[in-house]
Structure 1
Amino acid sequence: MILLLFVLSLLGTIYCKQTTLVLVDTLATRETHSIFLKSLQERGHDVTVKSADDPSLQITKYGEHIYNNLVILSPGVEEFGGSLSLEAIVEFIDEGGNVLIAGSSETTDLIRELGTEVGVEMDEEGAMVIDHLNYDVHDKGQHSLIAAPNSGLINSAEMVGKPNGSPLLYRGTGLITDPDNPLVLPVLKAASSAYCHTPSQAIVEYPHATGQNMLLVAALQARNNARVVVSGSLEFFSDAFILSSVQTAEGKVYKTSGNGPVVEALSRWVFKEEGVLRVVSVSHHIAGEKEPPPSYTIKDDVEYSIAIERLVGGSWVPFQAPDLQMEFVRIDPFVRLTLKPSSTGLFSIGFKVPDVYGVYQFKVEYNRIGFTRLFSSTQVAVRPFTHTEYESSALNVFNDLASPRNLVI
């Protein structure tokens, strides 16, 4: 029995282990980005590092994905090797795969086109983010070694963790997204004084990307909950930037940059180690009963509950939220109520069925920044009263029969 439990535990561990393919321009990236890669391995990822033009590259085999995640640290690749292609990566995302992409000021058209496929446009080749106010003193005069204020980070602990208060070092190109696209999230915005341009060229026309309309890091959570992170800087994830101290142009000195905590948290998020929700169970029944009826009757008192869990540190724990709502829908919502949370992750509510019969759905939909989209729908029928279920129906019939006008003398 003990052996059986051990085997099942081992199988569960193997099943939960994530496989991650890392593509690089040169194998030297394993050394320059060792902290980032080591953190993946320490969190249980089976990491495979290959050159982006390796002729043996493939992410699917016999119609199944070989990897859960794809990391592209190769902004200079002109063409992927093997069977890997732009179309294959897009299909990988469409089928739920997660991707992290790092660019640079020399990003090739291939990586630029991949960014466009996920709603993120990288500025033209050679362009770098420049900020004459927010730069590190180690900059070589172009003011392209940005010390980005952490106030530009998205307000989501699930995505960026708890920043240490230090600026984030960044050297690379700017990103542009459609602000009306609800699926693309601004992870790190540039400061209002920043712009993107080729440093060696004079500015003749107004820069394409400027101020807080320009992003340094962007993220996409697709409708199928696949996640993509795009950074315009490969160095953002490097050991040098993670370990470096920061001294701003104003003279403020920070022992370490803010890159480390953000890179750790962001990689957890994009690979679905954080911010993942799941429905455990759904229950509904007439008040005072335990099992759902074949159908409800108009004006029934109904009790509804849903149990939800959240993934934290590799374990599922009860989810807590004060703003989860349930709708009772027949084409349009007839009832919309905020569910009452509990410490066990069980959300519940009681309500009266509307006085309109038909086919309804108990519907719960929860969309919040940093979390996977949660959706639950349970269909039920609501019927009208039968002729014997109307209030006082039997008494009315008796009164009618016993009324004086119906008596025969």
Structure 2
Amino acid sequence: MLKLAAALLLLVAVAQTAPAKNRVLVLLESPAAKQTYSIFLKSLETRGYVLTVKRAEDANLQLFKYGEFVYDHLVIFAPSVQEFGGSLSVAEITNFVDAGGNVLFAGGAKLGDAIRELASESGYEFDDDSTSLIDHHNYDATVDSGDHTAVLVDPKHLTKASVIIGNKAAITAPILYRGSALVANPKNNLKLDVLTAATTSYSFAPNKVVNEYPSAIGRSAVLVGALQARNNARVVVTGSVELFSDAFINANVQKVGSAAKPVKSGNGPFVDALSQWAFQEKGVLRVKSVNHHLVGESAPPRDYTITEDVEYSIEIEELKDGKWVPYTGKDVQLEFVRIDPFVRTFLKPSNGKLTTVFKLPDVYGVFKFLVDYHRLGYSHLYDVQQVSVRPLLHTQYERFIRSAFPYYVSSFSMMIGVVLFSCVFLYHKEAPKAVSTETKKAK
């Protein structure tokens, strides 16, 4: 009986800590490859994900069934696959992302058409066939086979968005990378360059004479790229499937020519942080509540009146460690918009909410309280509250306006002047004129 109770408690605890969307499809080139990535896959299971591992060419592959998701996330570690099995295709994966699914996939030195096409749909392109990232100054002395393709990437080349890579202090060792380089599409505004190569790196076929300018060189060579779609679905692409392998995670790396002792590579914490962001365990925002009202009141009125003082508050939550906590960002802006913004102001954290007080413009019409929050690595937050702003009623206007006092004075002075002139004109009698002696004699 005690064992049954303990088992039930364990199930409840797992259910509370497991992600709400925890079904992951992992595609490999062969079933034996599962052992190659056992540490990474084990970390996903530890975080509560339910993994389904299949061959990339399995005839029963499908992401949708009866219009519903079969899986919530997709991982592809099959760089050389030419076509996916079953109903799975690049078009279906694109529809999966459009419907809100998340995808993480990796390439390698040998690439199939399927992975190339999928990368192109994600805003990146792999370099030419048989090319690899090469760095003659930053390669591992123990893993490299002599062609300098086992490149060590300094953590300083990671993106500055800590929400994607986690705590940068946790990734202090170099990241071991071997594979292709990516070239970003400059016209894609949704892409994020997570990890770029050093300035001494370039992409070319190993052990061949460099007789032309490489297409990816220095910081333009992207090693790990990401994309957050407009519906907040996430895609992560890298040119190195070995980045996630047990051999690279456990490798003790040492830069060639360095006198320092070998250290464990930074691949472990890096791929964990990367998968957490890709599967929306962090960097996710939501609006819990919105409130707006006149200053001194608590409920919104039927409509507002021009020039009134309004208090606006919004409660935004961020997903951290599986729990929703208040988001206290100081760069969230509120816009009061009719066609163009009439008011734009920052929201200040206060008691777990973001608030502001402002005066309504002296313009009436239909307005919107608009919060449109875009920040690197965070999900897009958009909230609109529509309100009406009316002009003053005839009983609300001031009886006397200070700015009109000169006109009041001029009006009354004119009235007084007219009265005085009328009095003078009506009641003033002209004195009789004196009659001359000649006039009297004539009479």
TM range (shorter): over 0.9
- 1:160 matched residue in structure 2: 165
Find the structure with the greater CA-based Rg. Answer: 2
The answer (yes or no) to whether the contact 2:191–2:228 under 8 Å persists in 1 is: yes
- 1:357 matched residue in structure 2: 364
2:155 is equivalent to residue 147 of structure 1: no
3-state DSSP class of the match of 2:93?
A: helix
Structure 2 letter corresponding to 1:131: D
Residues 74/343 of structure 1: CA separation in 2 closer, same or farther (3 Å cut): farther
How far apart, in 2, do the equivalents of 1:151 and 1:51 lie? 36
Q: 1:315 aligns with which of 314, 320, 323?
A: 323
How far apart, in 1, do the equivalents of 2:12 and 2:242 lie? 42
The answer (yes or no) to whether the contact 1:166–1:254 under 8 Å persists in 2 is: no
Structure 1 letter corresponding to 2:313: S
- 1:114 matched residue in structure 2: 118
Residues 363/167 of structure 1: CA separation in 2 closer, same or farther (3 Å cut): same
- Structure 1's consecutive aligned runs of 4 or more residues displaced over 6 angstroms after TM superposition are 6-15
How far apart, in 2, do the equivalents of 1:13 and 1:185 lie? 29
1:171-194 CA-partner distances (Å, limit 9, x unpaired): 000000034533111100000010
How far apart, in 2, do the equivalents of 1:179 and 1:11 lie? 42
- 1:29 matched residue in structure 2: 33
How far apart, in 1, do the equivalents of 2:351 and 2:299 lie? 24
3-state DSSP class of the match of 1:21?
A: strand
Structure 1 residue 265: Cα displacement: 0.5
The answer (yes or no) to whether the contact 1:245–1:253 under 8 Å persists in 2 is: no
The answer (yes or no) to whether the contact 1:17–1:44 under 8 Å persists in 2 is: no
1:146-183 CA-partner distances (Å, limit 9, x unpaired): 00111110012211112431110000000000345331
How far apart, in 2, do the equivalents of 1:297 and 1:164 lie? 55
Structure 1 residue 51: Cα displacement: 0.3
- 1:3 matched residue in structure 2: none
The answer (yes or no) to whether the contact 1:122–1:176 under 8 Å persists in 2 is: yes
How far apart, in 1, do the equivalents of 2:77 and 2:293 lie? 53
- 1:39 matched residue in structure 2: 43
Q: What percent of counterpart residues are identical?
A: 50
3-state DSSP class of the match of 1:225?
A: coil
3-state DSSP class of the match of 1:253?
A: coil
- 2:378 matched residue in structure 1: 371
Structure 2 letter corresponding to 1:112: R
2:189 is equivalent to residue 185 of structure 1: no
How far apart, in 2, do the equivalents of 1:287 and 1:107 lie? 62
Structure 1 residue 353: Cα displacement: 0.4
Q: How do 1:230-249 and structure 2 match up within 5 A?
A: 230-249=237-256
Structure 1 letter corresponding to 2:203: C
- Mark the runs of 5 or more structure 1 residues left unpaired by the alignment: 1-5
Between the two proteins, the alignment pairs up a number of residues equal to 397
1:254-296 CA-partner distances (Å, limit 9, x unpaired): 4200111110000000000011000000000111111111111
3-state DSSP class of the match of 2:31?
A: coil
Structure 2 letter corresponding to 1:22: V
Structure 1 residue 365: Cα displacement: 1.5
2:88 is equivalent to residue 81 of structure 1: no
3-state DSSP class of the match of 1:53?
A: coil
Structure 1 residue 110: Cα displacement: 1.3
| Superposed CA RMSD | 2.4
TM norm structure 1: 0.92
The answer (yes or no) to whether the contact 1:108–1:125 under 8 Å persists in 2 is: no
Residues 143/373 of structure 1: CA separation in 2 closer, same or farther (3 Å cut): same
Structure 1 residue 12: Cα displacement: 6.9
How far apart, in 1, do the equivalents of 2:302 and 2:397 lie? 20
How far apart, in 2, do the equivalents of 1:75 and 1:101 lie? 8
- Mark the runs of 5 or more structure 2 residues left unpaired by the alignment: 1-8, 417-443
- 1:20 matched residue in structure 2: 24
How far apart, in 2, do the equivalents of 1:148 and 1:63 lie? 43
How far apart, in 2, do the equivalents of 1:267 and 1:127 lie? 26
Residues 202/50 of structure 1: CA separation in 2 closer, same or farther (3 Å cut): same
- 2:425 matched residue in structure 1: none
- 2:73 matched residue in structure 1: 69
Residues 22/203 of structure 1: CA separation in 2 closer, same or farther (3 Å cut): same
Determine which structure has the larger helix proportion and give its number: 2
Structure 2 letter corresponding to 1:65: F
Structure 1 residue 9: Cα displacement: 9.1
Which 10-residue stretch deviates more, 180-189 or 206-215?
180-189
TM norm structure 2: 0.85
Residues 58/36 of structure 1: CA separation in 2 closer, same or farther (3 Å cut): same
Structure 2 letter corresponding to 1:371: Y
How far apart, in 1, do the equivalents of 2:158 and 2:18 lie? 35
